[in-house]
Amino acid sequence: MQLKPQTSSTAAPSSSSAAPKPSTTSATPKKTAAKTTTRATAGGVSRDHARATLTPRAAAPKATPKTVTPKKVTPNRVAPATKAPVQTPRTTPKPTSASNAGLDLSRAGMWDRIAMCESTGNWHINTGNGYYGGLQFDLGTWLGAGGGKFASRADLATREQQITIANTVFASRGLSPWQCASAA
């Protein structure tokens, strides 16, 4: 079926209410926000203008300048000082010449290295294996070298006392009693 435009001989078409006439020439559409569609008709090209539905965007909120009110400055209040209890300094009593009498600390560096290997440097170790102290004295060697004048077992004696007894054993037997002699 072919469509033809209707024309009336009695009435002149008004420009505002008349439908657009088909034309074989193309006209440039106006730049508007409306959506323009074209379709083919029997008499030529027809342009229909449809209204576009535009969704307005929400405007970003504008930053409003804030008024800064100066705060009243108040001095920091400090609690009144209270007297702390007087503590007397703790001092370790210095060994007297009587307790240092007879100590032989020669080769102390060597004995520290051996103790590190024998007992990881723990001079008061007692693991229950029959060897005591940092240098792992057995009870017979400790008492036989004179360790009983310091303590009943090597783990109960100080590092210095154990080194003194180790020097006594070293003088007669060398490093042979210690498994970690290579650490010396």
Instruction: Provide the residue range defining the domain that includes 155.
Output: 105-183
Structure tokens at 163: 């080194």
Q: Token digits for 70? A: 């100066």
Encode pLDDT of 71-99 as tens digits: 666 566 655 556 655 555 555 444 444 45
Q: Supply 101's token pair.
A: 């009498």
User: What pLDDT, on the 0 to 100 scale, is given for residue 184?
Assistant: 85
CATH number at residue 143: 1.10.530.10
- Contact in structure between 162 and 154 (CB atoms under 8 Å): yes
Is 69:76 a contact under the CB 8 Å cutoff?
A: no
Residue with tokens 């006594």: 168
- Residues near 103 by Cβ (< 8 Å), separated by ≥ 6? 160, 161, 163, 164
pLDDT in the model for residue 93? 45
Q: What is the pLDDT of residue 102?
A: 81
Contact 137, 154 (CB under 8 A): yes
Question: Is residue 43, in this structure, part of any structural domain at all?
Answer: no
pTM tops 0.75, yes or no: no
Total domains in the fold of the chain: 1
Within-domain flag for 167: yes
Lowest-pLDDT choice from 4-8, 55-59, 110-114: 4-8
pLDDT in tens, 122-175: 999 999 999 999 999 999 999 999 999 999 999 999 999 999 999 999 999 999
Residues 87-135 have pLDDT tens digits of: 555 554 444 444 566 899 999 999 999 999 999 999 999 999 999 999 9
Four-residue CA torsion sign, 97, 102, 106, 110: negative
